Chain A
Amino acid sequence: MADGFSIEEAHATFNQSALSVDAKFDLQLSGAVSEALHNGVSIQLLTTLDLFTRRPYIWDPRIARWAFTQKIRYHSLTNRYILTSPQHKESRSYASLADLFSDIEHFSFQSDILGDTLPESKSGYKLRLRIALDNTILPAPLRVMTYISPAWKLRSDIREWPVVIEP
């Protein structure tokens, strides 16, 4: 399996009251990122989910964005990988990266915060999902490398699909 991030499956359901998204990621770190991780550099995965209103001729305005970060660091004393999710306010450790990624490769999201405030759209709505390595938290010297080296450009393609509001 090649290095990099990808979205294998994605599905969303949307009714008047709630949005539900399920997706499956395929996450593989590149050698450079893995080396940096094992040398004490923390990395962060950023999953973004955008909701747009579709319009026929002009650009589609974004009406909502959800961003999820997952921070990964290597604990050298215990040889374990620690996953911290600010959203879940918890920290879990894994014996291997494979275990860690198998735990987070399933993305599930539910939201009912839109409710009746969702603007009406005759053409419907669309969702965009993407997962990427967040380079903004990297130490300054590595930031330069991320612009130079493709090994640090880990990001999935944008998965976009229309959302049909179920009655």
Chain B
Amino acid sequence: MKSTFSLTSKIFRQALNPAAVLTVSAFFLIAIFSLSMSAQNAQGPGTWFTVLLLVNVIGIAVLLVFLLASFMRLVRQYRKRVLGSRLMVRFVVLFIILTIIPISVVFYFSTQFLTRGVDSWFDDKIEQALDDALLLGQGFLEATKQNIIDNARIDAKRISSAPENQIIRLLEEIRRQRGYIELDLLARNGRAIASSNINAITLFPDNPAKNDMIKAAGGEVVAKLEPMASGALQYRILYPVIDSGFAQQSRILQIIEPLPLRYSRLGNSLEQASSEYNRLSYLRKPLKISFLLSLSLITMMTTLISIWLALYAARRLVAPINDLAEGTRAVAAGDYSTQLPVKSEDELGLLVGSFNSMITQVRRAQDDAEANHLLEQRQRAYLQSVLSNLSSGVLSFDHAQVLQTHNNRASAILGADLAQYSRNSLPELCLSHPNLKVFCEHLTEVMDKGRTGEQEISLNSAQGKQLLMVRTSTLSLEDHITSGWVVVFDDVTSLVTAERDAAWGEVARRLAHEIKNPLTPIGLSAERIRRKYLHKLPEDEREALDRSTRTIAEQVQTLKRMVDAFASYARSERLNLRSADLNRLIEDVVELHREPGNPITFSLQLETELKPMVFDQDGIRQVLNNIVGNACEALKDVPSASISICSQRETQQERSGVSVIIQDNGHGFEPEIIDRVFEPYITSKPDGTGLGMAIVKRITQAHGGFVIASNLDQGGGYVKIWLPESTSDTPNQTQLELS
């Protein structure tokens, strides 16, 4: 079916081939011309007329089929909105209108002229005159015939009374006398009895027709004027000769008398003219029909050929426009390799040529743009690579404070996937990440006021307090108009913490050194004073000395503990990493604090699937002791005091680890110190050194983990320690020291 359709389409495409159009048009025009010539020769035999009529009808049928198929194809293309079909329909309709109107007008007036022209050939007066002339001729011939008949009556009487042996001589005499060309005496059966002919060598008489002979034998006078093959007219008279004898046997006298040549020519001329006129008059209606039929066929053929040529012309006219439209569509789709064929040198050809050169220029421009784009991409990749390898976070914003560029370090520092917020404004980033509120507000303020500079910002992250050093600068165009901002920031939390810890460690070390040295002599001196003078003093003064020396000794011990604590905080130790069971360590620490009479309830929820992990057992034990100890002290006056400890596997920043959460139902941390709870010498206890939580943080960070502290909404303290499952991927490793 598809192949049939394609074959049909191919045939119709071929039908609009220029050579095919010209050849078929020429053939049908010749057929039309021949038909018109044949129709004009209306009185001749119509052999070729019929053939030409048939050729024209077949031609019309063929053209109709082709045109119908072409129109159906055009309608299908129009409905499918094929490119160029609408323009072609317009052209075809216009051409058809321009063709049909003049042809219709010519056809109408031609039929009028033709009908009236044929009618004008005939005139009643001429017809009447011909009829009268024919009647006159017939009357003349009838009179002549009657004269011959009268003579025949006389001659028959003479012959009937003549003796048999005189018949031939009598016939010869009468023939000569009357001027007949032949005079015969025939028996009733047609046999010649005697004959006389002007031509002496003629032996046999010119026998009459059988029917005429029968009539004459019956006694009837037969007289007729016979047209001869030569065109001459001759009378043939059969007159019965009644014998006077007893038997009364009848014989028949045959007279053959030619009409005089002059009359004969006149008669023939009259007969031919009358016959011709009658034939024409009779053929008037068929002639009109024939002419109208020919004219209609010619008109129809001409119209169809014109429509065919209109289709061909429209297709030729639309083809370059269609090419242009397709080329434009291809260009719109991004194909700049299109080059249209220049088929003519007219304005359309010029237009196609201009289109081709325009496309060439566009393609060059596109190639340049692609090269520039590639270069820009390379530069961008280079910049991105540089930014990615920076240890600082880098952000860039446009003039509308929309994030344009960021590097991975920025996402890592801020703890947000900034790729999701590319092309987003700062408030949208802030909404999604409330912990970045301070950061966003700072940037918004800087950008709004156009200030640049460096500032330290503190953020609360999941790992605790985070310190950022933010430097902001503007991006300027050549005309010094600000087009955006560049923000470079570093996470200085570790650095600040390390500096602070180092400072505090130095303080602790010096303090321990400066205080511990005089403590021993102070204590020994106080003991010596007590032993030497206690018993020497009067009773009333002895008590004062005892109380004073005892106080000195106690304060010295207190100061020693404090100095030991300072020394412990300032001491630099190696982590003794070994594989151990964290849950068991937790249970040991809890068991240590479960003293008899202690009202605090401990509840443990430990991870059952927890495998042994590598950590410094003594360090972590100290961490847990410090936290649990603090919690126990905080629960001294709290009824139904309880401490819950749970351990669970937890992944932080794609690192697997274990978190230990200790919470109590006490008073929690004092609000004024909660932000600085891990700093040295920050404590709410009257006799506390303020170094316990600082040590917790140092040991935890030495393991590559972190610790956070907060208060629960329902009351009570909350401390969470997170330790990596393995310290092998931490930079600290075993060389990390508690510095």
> Which residues of B108-146 are within 8 A (CB) of A?
134, 137-138, 141
Q: Which of A77, A92, A136 contacts B209 (CB 8 A)?
A: A92
Closest to B276 in A: A40
Size of the chain B interface, CB-CB below 8 angstroms: 44
Q: Would B46 and A143 count as touching, CB distance under 8 A?
A: yes
Q: Which of B49, B276, B282 contacts A140 (CB 8 A)?
A: B49
Q: A39-B281, A140-B49, A141-B286 are in contact. Are A76 and B274 (CB under 8 A)?
A: yes
| CB neighbours of A114 from chain B (8 A) | none
Judge if B41 is at the interface, Cβ distance under 8 Å: yes
Q: Would B227 and A75 count as touching, CB distance under 8 A?
A: yes
Complex Cα distance, B46 from A46, in Å, reads: 17
Complex Cα distance, B43 from A137, in Å, reads: 10
Q: Which of A39, A79, A92, A99 contacts B282 (CB 8 A)?
A: A39
Closest to A82 in B: B227
Judge if B256 is at the interface, Cβ distance under 8 Å: no
| CB neighbours of B287 from chain A (8 A) | 141
Q: A40-B276, A138-B45, A140-B38 are in contact. Are A77 and B286 (CB under 8 A)?
A: no
Q: Would B228 and A91 count as touching, CB distance under 8 A?
A: yes
C-beta contact mask, B256-294 vs A, less than 8 Å → 1, else 0? 000000000001101100111111011100110110010
| CB neighbours of A75 from chain B (8 A) | 227, 271
**Ranked 5 nearest A-B pairs via Cβ:** A140-B46, A39-B282, A40-B279, A143-B46, A141-B286
Q: Would A77 and B138 count as touching, CB distance under 8 A?
A: yes
| CB neighbours of A40 from chain B (8 A) | 274-279, 282
Listed in ascending order, the chain A residues whose CB lies under 8 Å from chain B are 35-36, 39-41, 74-80, 82, 84, 90-95, 99, 102-103, 136-145, 147
**Most central of A74, A77, A91, A138 by chain B CB within 10 Å:** A77
Q: Would A143 and B50 count as touching, CB distance under 8 A?
A: yes
Q: A75-B271, A76-B274 are in contact. Are A139 and B229 (CB under 8 A)?
A: no
Q: Would A90 and B229 count as touching, CB distance under 8 A?
A: yes
| CB neighbours of B225 from chain A (8 A) | 77-78, 80
Q: Is the interface of A mostly helix, strand, loop or mixed?
A: mixed
| CB neighbours of A91 from chain B (8 A) | 227-229
Judge if B211 is at the interface, Cβ distance under 8 Å: yes
Judge if B39 is at the interface, Cβ distance under 8 Å: yes
Closest to B225 in A: A78
Complex Cα distance, B376 from A38, in Å, reads: 105
Closest to A92 in B: B209
Instruction: Looking at the assembled complex, report how far the CB atom of A100 sits from the nearest CB atom of chain B, in whole angstroms.
Output: 10
Closest to A89 in B: B229
Q: Which of B46, B138, B267, B276 contacts A141 (CB 8 A)?
A: B46
| CB neighbours of B279 from chain A (8 A) | 39-41, 139
| CB neighbours of A141 from chain B (8 A) | 42, 46, 283, 286-287, 289-290
| CB neighbours of B271 from chain A (8 A) | 75-78
Q: Would A39 and B43 count as touching, CB distance under 8 A?
A: no
Judge if B633 is at the interface, Cβ distance under 8 Å: no
Q: Would A139 and B226 count as touching, CB distance under 8 A?
A: no
Complex Cα distance, B546 from A157, in Å, reads: 172
Complex Cα distance, B653 from A2, in Å, reads: 119
Judge if B420 is at the interface, Cβ distance under 8 Å: no
Q: A39-B282, A77-B134, A77-B137 are in contact. Are A139 and B228 (CB under 8 A)?
A: no
Complex Cα distance, B131 from A39, in Å, reads: 13
Complex Cα distance, B275 from A40, in Å, reads: 5
Q: Would B141 and A139 count as touching, CB distance under 8 A?
A: no
**Most central of A82, A142, A143, A144 by chain B CB within 10 Å:** A144
| CB neighbours of B46 from chain A (8 A) | 136, 138-144
Judge if B44 is at the interface, Cβ distance under 8 Å: yes
Judge if B153 is at the interface, Cβ distance under 8 Å: no
Judge if B667 is at the interface, Cβ distance under 8 Å: no
Instruction: Looking at the assembled complex, report how far the CB atom of B64 sits from the nearest CB atom of chain A, in whole angstroms.
Output: 20
Complex Cα distance, B137 from A74, in Å, reads: 16
Q: Would B275 and A76 count as touching, CB distance under 8 A?
A: yes
**Most central of A35, A40, A136, A145 by chain B CB within 10 Å:** A40
Complex Cα distance, B212 from A102, in Å, reads: 13
| CB neighbours of A147 from chain B (8 A) | 50
| CB neighbours of A138 from chain B (8 A) | 45-46
A selection of 30 A-B contacts at a CB cut-off of 8 Å is A35-B282, A39-B281, A40-B276, A40-B278, A74-B275, A76-B134, A77-B134, A77-B270, A78-B138, A78-B226, A79-B138, A82-B227, A94-B209, A99-B211, A103-B209, A136-B45, A138-B46, A139-B42, A139-B43, A139-B283, A140-B39, A140-B49, A140-B290, A141-B289, A142-B46, A142-B283, A144-B53, A144-B286, A144-B293, A145-B289
Q: Which of B134, B233, B289 contacts A144 (CB 8 A)?
A: B289
Q: Would B209 and A143 count as touching, CB distance under 8 A?
A: no
Instruction: Looking at the assembled complex, report how far the CB atom of A29 sits from the nearest CB atom of chain B, in whole angstroms.
Output: 15
Complex Cα distance, B210 from A6, in Å, reads: 24
C-beta contact mask, B288-302 vs A, less than 8 Å → 1, else 0? 011001000000000
Judge if B517 is at the interface, Cβ distance under 8 Å: no
Complex Cα distance, B46 from A28, in Å, reads: 24
Judge if B47 is at the interface, Cβ distance under 8 Å: yes
Q: A136-B47, A137-B45, A141-B290 are in contact. Are A80 and B226 (CB under 8 A)?
A: yes
| CB neighbours of A76 from chain B (8 A) | 134, 271, 274-275, 278
Instruction: Looking at the assembled complex, report how far the CB atom of A96 sits from the nearest CB atom of chain B, in whole angstroms.
Output: 9
Q: Which of B137, B224, B274, B282 contacts A95 (CB 8 A)?
A: B224
| CB neighbours of B274 from chain A (8 A) | 40, 76-77
